[in-house]
Chains A and B, each alone.
Chain A
Amino acid sequence: MTGSDVIVVGSGASAVHAAVALVDAGLRVTMLDVGHEDLTYEQMIPPASFEEIRRTDATQHRYFLGDRLEGVSIGSVGSGPQITPPRSYVLQDSDRLAPKRGKHFDALESFACGGLGRAWGAVAFPFNDVELARCGLPLTALRDHYEAVARRIGISGRRDDDLQSLRGPLAALQDPLQLDHNAMAILNRYGTLREGSRRQGFHLGQSFLAVLSRGLGEREPNAYRDMDFWSNRGRSVYRPDITLGELRRHAGFAYRPGFLVTRFEETTDGSVTVSGRRLGEGTDERLSARSLVLAAGSLGTTRIILRSLGLYDHAVPFVCNPHTYLACLNYRGLGTAHAERCHSLAQLSAFYDPTRNGEHLVQAQMYSYRSLQLFRLLTGAPLPLREGLRIMSLLAPHLVIWAVQHEDAPSADKYCVLRRDGGLEGDTLEINYALSSEERARHEQDEKAIARFVRRLGCMPLNRVRAPHGASVHYAGQFPMTTQDTPLTTEPSGKLRGTRAVYVADGAAFAYLPAKGPTFTLMANAHRIGVGIGQSLRA
C-alpha cells in the first residue's frame, strides 16, 4: 500500500459514515479493524417466517439455542439479551482484546465487522435542538448530515404523529412499516386518550426504524417474517457492514481486518503514525497517514487515546443510558387474532416529558414478545415448568416489553480510568459508574409514570427489570465536544485538543446522552466530521 490520507479505526456505525464522507471527498482511506464475522449460524437459517421455521426446520436448535447452548441461560438474565447465538460473534474476543473491569458495570464491546451496530435495535432518533446543544454538537450543521445518512441507510417512519415536536426533524423518510396486532391495539387506545395524555406529558407514536419498507439499492424491503433477531436476509435492517460493502468498491478505500490498533503518535513531519498488531500473525505493524479518525467505540477510542498520551490513572468522564424493562400483558387484546406478518423490532415509541419543555425526556419503546422462545420467559419465573410453558404459550401473543431509557449526564461518580495492569497491552480500562440518589429517585418516579401510562393503554405491567448498568450499550462522554479550550476535549470539528490531526468520530465526543438511542446521531456526526476533514485536507 502506498500510504493513505486518512486512517479510520473501527468499522462500526460511526466509522463507516466518517469513511463515506472522506471517500466522497476523494481521499484515500484505510480502515483498520479486527472484523469478526459469523461463519456458522446465519447461513443455516432458511428464508422463512419464524412460525414456518419452528414447524419445519429440524436444525433450528443449532441457531436458536447455539451449538454450545449459549442461547440458554439458567438463572439470571445478563446484559445483552438481544445477543442471540447468531449474533454472538459480535462480542467474540472482546474480553481478551479489550480487558476492562467495573464495579456494578457490565460493559459490552465489539470487535465484529460492523461493530455493535451489527446488533443494533435499529431505532433511529434525530436529537432535538436542546439535546444536541447538551451533547456539545453543532446543531445547525448536523441537520444536513442526518438527512444524508438517512438517505443512505433508509429510515422508515411516520413524520406527522404526536412525537414530531419532541423527536427532532427528519425529511428523508420511507413509508412507515406495518405495525403488529399489539401495537395497533395500543395505538388505537392512545387515540381515544390522546388529549388527556398529552396534557400530562405522554406522547405515543410509531418508532423511526432503520429498516426498509421499500427497496434501496440491492437491499430488499422487510419481508415481515418476524426473524429480525436472528437473521437479516434481504438486508432490510441497516447494519454498518452494508455501508462497508459499498465503501470497499471504491478504489481509494482499503479495509484491513485482523488489525488491532493499540496507539498513535504524531511525528515531526506532520503525519500520524498508528501502531497495532496483526492478529493472525501476531506481528506488530505501523502505518502512517495525514489524519487519523478514531471510531473504535467510545471505550475502545478512550483506551487508544489514554494509552497513546501515557495518561494512566487519569479519570475521564463517562455517561451511559440507564435501561429498565417493563414486561406487560396487553390484556385488552386477549383473545384477538395475532398478525402473522410482522417484524420483530421496536413497534412504538413513547415519550414522557416530565418538565413539559422537552428538556428531560424519558423514552420507552415497545416490542412484542414473539420471536423468542417461551423457555426464556421461565428463567426465574415462580412457575413449575410444565404449567409454566402452557401459561406462557397462552399469554405470549399478548406479551409486550416496554424498554424504558433515561437520559444520562456526567457526574463525579461516572468515570473511566486506564490502569497499568494486566491485559494484552499491559493495561485495563476501569469503569466506575454510580447514580446519585437524586438520579435514582427521578428514574423511579419516571418509571412509575410510564407504568401508569402503559396501564391506561391496556398493558398490565407484570414485572419490572432494571437492566444492569451498561446493558444499554450506549456509552459516551470521555472527550466531550466543546468550544472551550480545555485539555482532553474535542473541538467542534471532532479534533482532539492538543493534537494536529487526530479526530474522535464516535460517542466519546458526546458530552451527554438523551433518552434516545444515539446510533443515528453518531452516524450523522461522524459524517459531519468526515466532511470537515475532507475540506481541510483538500484545502
Chain B
Amino acid sequence: MMPAGLAILVTGAGGFIGKAVVRRLLQDGWTVRAMVRPASAPSISSPDRLETAYADMRDGAALVSAVRGCFAVVHLAAAKDDEPDSEDVNVGGARRLVEACRAGGCRRVINISTQSAKIARKGAYARTKSEADAVFRASGLDVTNLLPSIVYGEELAGVFGTLAKLARASPFLPVMGNGKWLSAPVHVEDVAAAVLGCIKTPATIGKDYDIAGPELLRFDELIDRIAAALGKRPPMKLHVPLTVALTLARLMARLPKAPITVSNVLGSNQDTHIDIGPAQTDFGFEPRPLEPGLRAVAAALASRSESSGGDESWASECRLLCRYLIDCEPTADLIARYRAGVRLKLADGELDDADWRWARRHPRCIAYLDAAAALTPRSSSLRARLYVLAALVETMPVHADRFLPRRASKTRLLTALAWQATRVGCKAVIGLPMLAWARRFA
C-alpha cells in the first residue's frame, strides 16, 4: 500500500506536461506540491491538496526544502532550448535532486526524459537529458524513466504547438530535414496517466519505458494530419537540408529566444525504436488513438478562440478599462492578472452593480462614472476594478515612468495640476447626473 497523506513533488509543474500531471494526481486524490521557479507567477486557484514550492534546479538548498515531506518526485523541470546552462540545470539539477531526495528520505522518482536521449548525434538538450537519466539510474533510488515521443494537447506547446500554429497560419511550412522522421505522438493526458500508473506500480522501479501514441507516422504526414484536424489543407512543405538547418539553428542560438534549436533539428531527423509494449503490460498504459485525439484538441482550440464567454469578456473589459486609465492596450499577461486580481479582491456581491452594468453597456461613460462615483461613499464595482487595474499597471516596468517622479518646474507643475483639477471638475459635473440615472434605472 502507498503511504497515505504524503505529498508528491512535481518539478516543472508550470509547464505543459507538468500542469496535466498535477491535475491528474489531484484528481486521483493525492496531495501535490507543485514546484516552480521563484520568478514564476503563482497558480491562482489552489485546492487544499495543492501546495506551491518555489525552487530552481540550480539551487540545491531550495530543492532540499521542496522535497522535504514528499514520498515521490515527478521530475519534469528541464532546460529544453539548448541554453548555455543546460548542463547545470539538467545534469547538475538531477544530481541536486538526487541529493535532496536522499536528504529528505524520498525514494521514489519518476523521471521524464525524452526519446531523443536515445539518438546517436545529440544536441545539448538530448545530451544533458541522457546524462541526467544516467544520474538517476545510478542513484540507488527507486527510479522509473519515461521517454515520451512528441506530446500534444490543448495547449500549443513544444514541437506540436509550433506545427499547429504554423499549420493554422500559413499555407507553407519549413521542415528541418527530409520529413521522413518517425514519431508516435502521444496526448498529454496519456503521459499524465502513465506517470500515475508508475507511481501506483512498484514493478516499474528500475525500468525505462517508451511513452508514445499507438500510431507511428512520418513527420510530413504528421503535419498533414494536424492541418486536417484544424480544417486546413495540407500545407506546402519546404524541406531544408539537414546541414543548412543545423547551420541556421546554430546561428539562431545567439538570439535571446530562438525559434528552433540544434536539438530540435537533430531530434527530428534520427529515428528511434519506439515500443510501448512494456508500458502496456507493466502498468496498463492505454494511449488514445491519434485521429480522435487531434480532433478533440482542434475542437477545444476552436471553441476557445471563438466566443467562449469567459476569457474574451475578461479581455474586452480589461482592454476597456486600460484604455481609459492609461491609453494603452493591455498585454495578455496583464489581462490574466487583472482577471485573477478581480476574483481575489472583489467579493461575489461586489462583482456586479449598477455602475458596472452601465459602464459595460456604455463604455464612453466610464470616465464620467468614475469621477462621479469617487464623490459618493457607496462602494462601486467600477471603481474597485479600476483600482485593482491601477495597482497592477503601476507595478509593470513598461509603465513605470508614468508613475515615478518627474522633474518639472514649479510653473509647469502647477499648470498641470490645474489642468487635471479642471478635468476632474468637468467630469464630475457631467458624471453625477449620469451616475444617479444609472443607479436608479440600470
Contact = CB atoms under 8 A, between A and B. Distances in A.
B281 interface: no
Given A61-B337, A74-B345, A394-B416, A384 B394 contact: no
Indicate the member of B325, B326, B375, B387 with the most A CB atoms within 10 Å.
B387
B345 A58 contact: no
A55 B405 CA distance: 12
Interface string A52-74: 00111111111011011101101
Given A61-B395, A373-B391, A387 B403 contact: no
Interface residues of B, number: 54
Nearest to B416: A394
Most buried by B among A378, A385, A393, A394: A385
Given A385-B387, A385-B390, A391-B417, 10 more contacts: A55-B400, A62-B42, A65-B392, A69-B391, A74-B345, A74-B388, A375-B394, A384-B370, A386-B324, A394-B406
B159 interface: no
A394 B384 CA distance: 23
A145 B394 CA distance: 46
A338 B405 contact: yes
Contacts of B337: 61
Nearest to B376: A382
A77 to B, nearest CB: 13
Interface string B374-406: 110001000110111011101111001111111
B434 to A, nearest CB: 13
B414 interface: yes
Nearest to B431: A384
Contacts of A55: 397, 400-401, 404
B408 interface: yes
B409 A374 contact: no
Given A64-B395, A68-B344, A387-B423, A44 B38 contact: yes
A370 B405 CA distance: 9
A332 B333 CA distance: 42
26 contacts: A40-B54, A54-B395, A54-B397, A54-B404, A57-B397, A58-B397, A61-B396, A62-B41, A68-B344, A69-B391, A71-B391, A72-B341, A335-B409, A374-B394, A378-B390, A379-B387, A383-B371, A384-B370, A384-B427, A384-B428, A386-B324, A387-B371, A389-B326, A389-B390, A389-B394, A396-B405
A397 B400 contact: no
Contacts of A282: none
Contacts of A64: 395
Given A43-B38, A334-B414, A335-B408, A386 B367 contact: yes
Contacts of A375: 387, 390-391, 394
B254 interface: no
Nearest to A336: B410
Interface in A60-102: 60-62, 64-65, 67-69, 71-72, 74-75
A391 B421 CA distance: 8
Interface residues of A, number: 49
Contacts of A393: 402-406
Q: Give the interface centre of A56, A337, A374 by most chain B CB atoms within 10 Å.
A: A374
Contacts of B383: 385
A390 interface: yes
Given A58-B397, A382-B375, A65 B403 contact: no
Contact of A389 (B42, B346, B371, B403): B403
A389 B325 contact: yes
A175 to B, nearest CB: 27
Nearest to B343: A69
A503 B324 CA distance: 61
A56 B392 CA distance: 15
A51 interface: yes
Q: Quick one: which of A64, A334, A381 has the most chain B CB within 10 A? A: A334
List 10 A-B pairs, minimum CB-CB distance, nearest first.
Answer: A335-B410, A61-B395, A384-B371, A397-B405, A384-B370, A54-B400, A375-B390, A385-B386, A55-B400, A67-B42
Contacts of B54: 39-40
Given A385-B386, A394-B408, A60 B395 contact: yes
A131 to B, nearest CB: 39
B413 interface: yes
Nearest to B344: A69
A328 B389 CA distance: 27
B107 to A, nearest CB: 22
B388 A390 contact: no
B374 A72 contact: no
B39 interface: yes
Interface in B317-358: 324-326, 337, 341, 344-346
Interface in B402-438: 402-414, 416-417, 420-421, 423-424, 427-428
B391 A385 contact: no
B424 A383 contact: yes
Given A60-B397, A69-B344, A381-B374, A389 B402 contact: yes
A61 B392 contact: yes
A386 B325 contact: yes
A388 B370 CA distance: 11
A337 B407 contact: yes
A63 to B, nearest CB: 9
Interface in A319-355: 334-335, 337-338
Nearest to A376: B391
A374 B405 contact: no
Contact of A72 (B41, B387, B405, B423): B387
Interface string B184-204: 000000000000000000000
A389 to B, nearest CB: 6
A72 B325 contact: no
Interface string A195-208: 00000000000000
A538 B407 CA distance: 64
